[in-house]
Amino acid sequence: MSRKLSWDKYLFVAAIVIVVVGLVMIYSASAILAMQKTGGENPYLFLVKQCIWLGAGSLLMFGLMNLDAGLVRDQRVIYLLLGGIVAALVLVLFQAPINGTHRWFVLPGFQFQPAEIAKPVVVLFLALFLSQKEERVNELTSTLLPFAAVLAAIVGLILLQPDFGTAAMILLVSCAMLFVAGLSWRRIGAVALAVIPLGLYVMLSADYRRDRLTTFLNPEADPLGKGFQAMQSLIAIGTGGVDGLGLGNGRQKLFFLPEPHTDFIFSIIGEELGFIGAIVVVALFAVLVWRGLVIATRTRDRFSYYVAVGLTLMLGVQALFNMSVTLCLLPTKGLPLPLVSYGGSSLLASMICVGLLLNLSQESA
Q: Where do the domains of the chain lie?
A: 3-364
Confidence grade of residue 7 (pLDDT, cut at 50, 70, 90): confident
The pLDDT of residue 119 is above 70: yes
**Predicted local confidence at residue 362, as pLDDT:** 85
Fill in the DSSP letter of residue 140. Answer: I
Q: Which amino acid is at 46?
A: F
- For residue 203, which of 25, 364, 331 has the smallest C-alpha distance? 331
Lowest mean pLDDT among 138-147, 202-211, 339-348: 202-211
Nearest to 358, CA basis, from 283, 281, 299, 282: 299
Q: Nearest Cα to 258, choosing from 326, 193, 338?
A: 326
Give 112's strand partners: 105
Query: What is the C-alpha to C-alpha distance for residues 356 and 151, in angstroms, rounded to an integer?
Result: 21
Of 54, 53, 50, 65, the closest CA to residue 12 belongs to 65
What's the rounded mean pLDDT across residues 261-274? 93
Q: Measure the CA–CA gap between 2 and 361, rounded to whole angstroms.
A: 12
Mean pLDDT of 289-307: 92
DSSP, residue by residue, 59-125 = HHHHHHHTS-HHHHT-HHHHHHHHHHHHHHHHHGGGSPPBTTB---EEETTEEE-HHHHHHHHHHHH
Look up residue 205 and give its DSSP letter.
Answer: S
Confidence of residue 222 (pLDDT cuts 50, 70, 90): low
pTM strictly above 0.95: no
- CA-only gyration radius of the chain, Å: 20
Poorest-confidence range of 30-34, 133-137, 198-202, 349-353? 198-202
Alpha-carbon span 308 to 36, nearest angstrom:
42
Please give the pLDDT value at position 218: 65
Residue 300 buriedness (CB in 10 A; 0-12 / 13-18 / 19+): middle
Q: Per-residue pLDDT for 284 more than 60? A: yes
**pLDDT tens figures, 94-111:** 988 887 888 888 877 778
**What is the C-alpha separation between 256 and 233, in angstroms, rounded?**
9
Per residue in 159-215, pLDDT (tens digit) is 998 888 899 899 999 989 998 888 888 887 877 777 777 767 766 666 666 766 776
Helix axis angle for 344-360 and 9-37, nearest 10°, is: 170
| Long-range own/partner contacts, residues 79-85 (CB < 8 A, 24 or more apart) | 79/125, 81/121, 81/124, 81/125, 82/121, 82/122, 82/124, 82/125, 82/150, 85/114, 85/117, 85/118, 85/121, 85/122, 85/154
Residue 338: cis peptide before it, omega within 30 degrees of 0? no
**What 3-state DSSP class applies to 364?**
strand
